[in-house]
Structure 1
Amino acid sequence: MQPTRPTAGDLALRQNLERHGLVAILRSRRPGAPLVETVRTLIEAGVRCVEITLPTPGSLEAVAELRSPLPEGCLIGVGTVTESHQVEQVVAAGGQFIVSPVYEPGLILAARGKNIGTLPGCFTATEALAAWRTGATAVKLFPAEPLGPGTVAALQGPLPEIPLVPTGGVGLSDIRPYLDAGALAVGVGSPLVGDALDGGSQAELLVRARKFVAEAAS
């Protein structure tokens, strides 16, 4: 049992991930990337949880635009959050959760204080347990690619109460193995988004995203 009481933000994120099994991750270095259009395409395809990384130019502005209004049942958050003061920026933009590549206790505590969910990045059982005890919504297993689904199963043995979200190098064919191993959900970036943020076809993204949604739901 988690020693801290989950906030409403925790419950909303955890229930979303449990139901849909997928976090779509948008990351770009390109100013003017079509973030809002891409997120709307993903939502049309059935994606219900989207992360836009903070270093992406225009990330917070896109979150603010998408939040008014965001379709019912959808969550949008901000990733690559590494400093506590960034939590304030996320909340001001309307972000509903934060994701980090690292486990930093202050981030979790700051987010809990603002009633938004958290997915801290962890690579070891020790980090995962510490993050969970601090009050993380779930643990982002990162980078997942060198670990694989077997690590999820191994962690779920002694630590079954910790929900895991493998992220990093997760493609379409990896989704079921991770979920079948016990993961709560998976985080998927470029294999899903492709070149959509670089001017690629939104129609092709729609088709591709529907495959990811179906795989996570199957």
Structure 2
Amino acid sequence: MTSHDLAPIFTDARVMVILRDLPPTETVRLAEQAWELGIDVVEVPIRTPEAERSLRAAVEAGRERGRPVGAGTVRTSAQVRLAAGAGAAFTVAPGLDLAIADAALTHGIPHLPGVATPTEAQRALDHGLVWLKAFPAVSLGPQWFRAMAGPLPELRFVATGGIDADNAGDFLAAGVRVVAVGSALANPRQIPRLAELATARA
């Protein structure tokens, strides 16, 4: 993996689960459920100090199964260092901060920044960031991704924010490479339904 190349992590993925603000045991339980059902990629946000333990637990569980676990809500260089120290496979941010992307790269971790406008997307692309998190995806809507494919066909989008099993298929059909689901996982029926999308042919 070179630069911010997330293709080895996301190329075969269609769904990523975001396990936010959960204790380590519950984080690992849900991650294992996702992996068993064919959802390979997990993100654990580290917006609170307590979340580091959950990230470390998920990384360890993922390492045993050959599954990548990323650190989400990474907004500072200190969080980049924490993610790297915990063994995260990648970092994710809610917005576009090129300094954070550079910090991740110095630690050998690819970064997935958040964007919501063509200007942000172009700035990211000019900086070598091809894989981008579009946030909040539910506000942007599937048509936004179809429109972006015209002037910026090189970009690969992970749609995040308001995604659930009911609308994920619409975003995938619009050209999104990966849909990321977080809050919707409070409904226990979500992961099995999302797994059907994850294992379906693109």
How high is the TM-score relative to the length of structure 2?
0.88
1: CA distance, partners of 2:48 / 2:124: 26
Match of 2:135 in 1: 142
| Equivalent residue for 1:7, pick from 2, 7, 10 | 2
Question: Percent identity among equivalent residues?
Answer: 32
Amino acid at match of 1:109: D
Per-residue Cα deviation, 1:10-30 (whole angstroms, up to 9, x for no partner): 44x3233221211111112x6
Structure 1 residue 215 corresponds to structure 2 residue 193: no
Shift of residue 179 of structure 1? 1.4
1:157 to 150, 160, 184: 150
For the 8 Å contact 2:27–2:58, the answer to whether it is kept is no
How far, CA to CA, are the matches of 1:61 and 1:31 in structure 2?
8
C-alpha change, 1:110 and 1:92, in structure 2 (3 Å) is: same
Unaligned runs of 5+ in 1: 1-5, 196-204
Name the stretch that deviates more: 153-162 or 78-87: 78-87
- Unaligned runs of at least 5 residues, structure 2: none
Greater shift in the superposed pair: 131-140 or 180-189: 131-140
Contact 1:109/1:135, CA 8 A, preserved across alignment: no
What are the residue-to-residue correspondences of 1:56-67 with 2, within 5 Å?
56=48, 58-67=50-59
Partner of 2:171: 178
2:104 aligned partner = 111
Root-mean-square deviation (Å): 2.1
| More off after superposition, 150-159 vs 38-47 | 38-47
Q: Give the secondary structure class of the aligned counterpart of 1:146.
A: helix
Structure with bigger RCO (C-alpha 8 Å, 6+ apart): 1
8 Å contact from structure 2 (residues 73, 93) kept in 1 = yes
Asked if the contact 1:98/1:116 (under 8 Å) is kept, the reply is yes
Partner of 1:200: none
Which residue of 1 is the match for residue 32 of structure 2? 40
Aligned residue in 1 for 2:122: 129
The answer to whether the 8 Å contact 1:129/1:162 transfers is no
Give the distance between the partners of 2:57 and 2:25, measured in 1 at CA.
14
Give 1:31 deviation, angstroms: 5.9
